């Protein structure tokens, strides 16, 4: 018999194995999660919306499935957190906005439906910034606190998901990523977040169908858990015309392959962003340790010129497309940063749009050429460590002022523009004990190779055992 406390300390991969071998039931695992949520959630405000009765009913049904010898999916019986930008049937989806404070989804979106079909048990919705952003606070539920230092930001927009993972309230969580919304909170909380290639994980109907900037992706405490969740999330859906079926081996099985990167490149700033020196030093040291798995480490990066401006243009158009009507009817109920973003998108000229698209496709081809010589590209996930919670955003980096509220995550949104998969991997801690992560970027649709390399590097760096942890 495994106790609840022991279950909390195990990885999703280990818990899934115990469920499959009937050492524990889905109900027992859920009970352990609920107990941990009751203990920890009031301290960090990561899961403001809970659906525990719904979760318990699902756990009962899954337990009956195992008893009758029914087929189990890869996430069978695992409690997960669902980000409050994703629809979960019968549960509120607020987007962190007072406009939708009481909105209830009548069906799960494509992302959540895939996870449920794979056996996952959603236990609640994780906190988010209002509509979009990299610092998790909103007027509906307030701030989510960083468990490494409760005075600091948890990152965003998947901040609630990252904190729920870091504190052991769930084993897996959904994230989505436009400009770094999955990778930034993974870095700030010392967990793992994967931004997959566009189409790898299907998206819901709320998003523009043919946009490639916003993707859905898995978050976990370690790389193997992220691979497990990806196995349960992939596939095509009529809700997402860019989605496609996964035809290769499972991502969990891909971790067992012996092929590893032979040549990797590291850049402290991609040649385009300011960087706090301690962050750059920690990430450079982590990158250098790729030599321990047999890789040559070089200092190199493709040309990212013009990418920051191009992303701002395309992001503005995306946000404007989603929210133009809301701005007309509810301007006073929308955060000023989002109002600015909508209006920026509405003001984009034909010349700006053409330039942004040209820069994006040129960058993609430069990346493809770069990966003819290198297996991976590494850089910091974020330019700064976690910052004071009361700040709305980072205003200076290494003494250089930022111009917009998202400039401080430029090193993540620059990578968004490549359409390459990117994983935030814990790399170390600052002198004051704050988590720092390295961003590992793979070839287009090269998730299997990326996960395998990061899995091996996670063993080398030895940081996965730092979570789950108690809030400080």
* 190 catalytic residue (yes or no): no
| Rounded Cα–Cα distance for residues 314 and 332 (Å) | 25
Q: Is the peptide bond before 468 cis (omega within 30 degrees of 0)?
A: yes
What is the Cβ-side half-sphere exposure of residue 103, based on CA atoms within 13 angstroms?
18
Out of 97, 108, 113, 157, which one is annotated catalytic?
157
Which among 97, 108, 181, 197 is annotated as catalytic?
Answer: 181
Q: Has 431 been annotated as catalytic? A: no
What is the SS3 assignment for 86? coil
Is 157 noted as a catalytic residue in this protein? yes
Distance of CA 62 to the CA centre of its chain: 27
Q: Which residues contact 368 (CB under 8 A, 6 or more apart)?
A: 443, 444
Reported as half-sphere exposure (CB side, CA atoms, 13 A), residue 313 has a value of: 19
Rounded to whole angstroms, the Cα distance separating 288 from 457 reads 11
Instruction: Return all residues near 220 (Cβ < 8 A) that are at least 6 apart.
Output: 11, 12, 165, 171, 172, 173, 191, 192, 226, 228, 229
Q: Can you spell out the DSSP letters for 279-322? A: HHHHHHHHHHGGGGGT-EEEE-----TTHHHHHHHHHHHHHHHH
Query: Which of 18, 83, 114, 125 is flagged as catalytic?
Result: 83
Q: How far apart are alpha carbons 168 and 221 in whole angstroms?
A: 9
CA distances from 446 to 150, 163, 198, 246, 304 (A): 36, 27, 12, 12, 20
* Residues marked as catalytic: 83, 157, 181
């Amino acid at each position: 018999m495994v106790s609840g406390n022991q279950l909390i300390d195990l990885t999703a991969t280990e818990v899934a194995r115990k469920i499959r071998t009937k050492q524990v039931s889905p109900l027992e695992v859920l009970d352990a999660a609920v107990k941990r949520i009751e203990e920890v959630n009031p301290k960090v405000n990561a899961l403001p919306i809970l659906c525990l009765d719904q979760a318990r009913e699902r756990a009962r049904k899954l337990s009956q499935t195992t008893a009758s010898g029914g087929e189990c999916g890869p996430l069978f019986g695992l409690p997960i957190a669902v980000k409050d930008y994703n629809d979960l049937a019968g549960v509120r989806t607020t987007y962190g906005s007072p406009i939708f404070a009481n909105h209830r989804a009548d069906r799960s979106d494509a992302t959540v439906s895939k996870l449920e079909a794979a056996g996952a048990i959603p236990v609640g919705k994780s906190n988010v910034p209002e509509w979009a952003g990299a610092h998790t606070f909103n007027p509906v539920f307030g701030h989510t606190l960083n468990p490494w230092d409760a005075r600091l930001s948890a990152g965003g927009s998947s901040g609630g998901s990252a904190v729920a993972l870091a504190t052991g309230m769930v084993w897996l969580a959904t994230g989505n990523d436009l400009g770094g919304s999955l990778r930034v909170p993974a870095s700030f909380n010392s967990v793992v977040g994967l931004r997959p290639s566009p189409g790898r994980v299907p998206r819901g109907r709320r998003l523009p169908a043919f946009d490639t900037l916003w993707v859905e992706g898995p978050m976990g405490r370690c790389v193997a858990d992220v691979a497990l969740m990806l196995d349960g999330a992939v596939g095509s859906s009529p809700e997402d015309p860019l989605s496609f079926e996964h035809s290769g081996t499972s991502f969990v099985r891909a971790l067992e392959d012996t092929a590893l990167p032979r040549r990797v490149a590291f850049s402290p700033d991609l040649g385009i962003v300011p960087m706090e020196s301690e962050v750059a030093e920690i990430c450079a040291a982590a990158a250098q340790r790729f030599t321990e798995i047999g890789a040559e480490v070089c200092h190199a990066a493709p040309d990212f010129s013009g990418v920051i401006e191009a992303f701002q243009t395309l992001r503005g158009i995306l946000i404007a497309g989603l929210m133009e009507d809301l701005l007309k009817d509810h301007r006073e109920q929308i955060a000023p940063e989002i109002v600015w973003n909508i209006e920026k998108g509405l003001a984009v000229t034909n010349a700006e749009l053409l330039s942004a698209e040209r820069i994006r496709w040129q960058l993609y081809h430069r990346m493809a050429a770069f990966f003819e010589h290198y297996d991976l590209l590494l850089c910091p996930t974020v330019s700064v460590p976690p910052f004071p919670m009361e700040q709305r955003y980072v205003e200076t980096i290494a003494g250089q002022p930022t111009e917009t509220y998202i400039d401080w995550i430029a090193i993540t949104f620059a990578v968004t523009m490549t359409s390459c998969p990117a994983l935030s991997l814990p790399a170390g801690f600052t002198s004051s004990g704050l988590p720092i992560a390295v961003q590992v970027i793979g070839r287009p649709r090269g998730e299997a190779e990326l996960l395998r390399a990061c899995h091996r590097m996670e063993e080398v760096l030895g940081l996965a055992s730092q979570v789950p942890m108690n809030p400080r």
